[in-house]
């Protein structure tokens, strides 16, 4: 059994498949994160790109779109249902995309080396992050780069904080765990992540905590249903075997709290994210 077996089970079962159920809403809310990744990565035509933990493929398509018909993006994930949904949407972009069931911590990607590795919220789940990033570095050509997005701490991040508070009030506290342990908030500590990248052999490592506005046309109910069903609140609901009534009450709490983010342009939710970038200056596989 692989070290990431619990994540494989999670992302292939009902909780992970919420990323399909709420796909439309998620794609809208997190589109701004793709923009941020593209701005930081500056992909250029002809580059070979990997998207780690691609889910239903929104980031893969955003990069592929940016590269045009000559582009090539390999998207990897440990969840077959999410990959299959992403594959089904590959004709939406002209660039060539390739979706593979691959564990980023342990598996090789056959074929030529890559120029750029990107990930939107897909690299915080490794049981052994140093081993994972050593493996990821082995896919990169010399000079290849990684550009990653993760969540900053929950405090001040209403996207997670509000549903978490609603779930705690209704059901009880989450399990106490190491803040760096694998999960949606596993990359909240920038020093921890930069030390992982350094131990994995990357150079020119940088980390930036940046404010991003998440956007959604509304109504608030659609956004609240999504927020209450993923991330830390979903994990509390799972811990206490929450009923549909509990989920309804938590969602009502989120609706109420999220009303303050309604604007003439729809919902505008401030989010603190951590962006990391690094280079592979030493070739590993030649």
Ligand X SMILES: C[S@@+](CC[C@H](N)C(=O)[O-])C[C@H]1O[C@@H](n2cnc3c(N)ncnc32)[C@H](O)[C@@H]1O
Q: Which stretches of the chain bind ligand X, using CB under 6 A?
A: 4, 7, 11, 19, 26, 30, 52-55, 58-59, 76-79, 82, 103-105, 120-122, 125-126
Nearer Cβ to ligand X (67/170)? 67
Instruction: Say how far apart CA 112 and CA 209 lie, in whole Å.
Output: 33
Coil vs helix vs strand at 43 = coil
Nearer Cβ to ligand X (26/279)? 26
Nearest to 268 by CA among 217, 210, 209, 211: 217
Q: Closest separation between CB of residue 226 and ligand X, Å?
A: 12
Nearer Cβ to ligand X (87/283)? 87
Instruction: Say how far apart CA 164 and CA 168 lie, in whole Å.
Output: 6
Instruction: Say how far apart CA 227 and CA 162 lie, in whole Å.
Output: 9
Nearer Cβ to ligand X (79/170)? 79
Residue spans of alpha helices (H) in the chain: 5-12, 14-21, 23-29, 31-41, 58-67, 80-88, 129-138, 158-170, 190-199, 220-229, 231-239, 244-258
């Amino acid at each position: 059994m692989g070290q990431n077996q619990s994540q494989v089970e999670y992302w292939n079962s009902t909780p992970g498949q919420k990323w399909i159920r709420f796909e439309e809403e998620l794609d809208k809310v997190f589109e701004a994160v793709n923009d941020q990744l593209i701005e930081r990565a500056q992909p250029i035509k002809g580059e070979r790109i990997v998207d780690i933990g691609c889910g239903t493929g929104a980031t893969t398509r955003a990069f592929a779109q940016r590269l045009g018909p000559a582009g090539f993006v390999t998207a990897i994930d440990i969840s077959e249902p999410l990959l299959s949904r992403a594959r089904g949407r590959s004709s939406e972009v002209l660039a060539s995309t390739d979706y593979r069931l691959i564990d980023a911590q342990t598996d090789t990607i056959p074929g030529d080396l890559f120029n750029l590795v990107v990930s939107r919220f897909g690299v915080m789940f490794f049981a052994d992050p140093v081993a994972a990033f050593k493996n990821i570095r082995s896919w990169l050509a010399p000079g290849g780069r990684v550009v990653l997005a993760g969540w900053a701490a929950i405090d001040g991040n209403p996207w997670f904080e509000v549903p978490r508070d609603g779930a705690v009030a209704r059901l009880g506290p989450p399990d106490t765990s190491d803040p760096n342990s694998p999960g949606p908030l596993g990359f909240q500590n920038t020093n921890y992540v930069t030390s992982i990248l350094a131990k994995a052999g990357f150079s020119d490592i940088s980390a930036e905590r940046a404010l991003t506005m998440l956007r959604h046309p509304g109504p608030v109910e659609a956004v609240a249903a999504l927020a209450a069903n993923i991330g830390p609140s979903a994990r509390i609901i799972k811990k206490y075997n929450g009923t549909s009534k509990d989920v309804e009450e938590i969602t009502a709490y989120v609706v109420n709290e999220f009303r303050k983010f309604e604007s003439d342009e729809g919902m505008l939710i401030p989010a603190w994210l951590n962006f990391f970038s690094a280079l592979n200056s030493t070739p590993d596989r030649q």
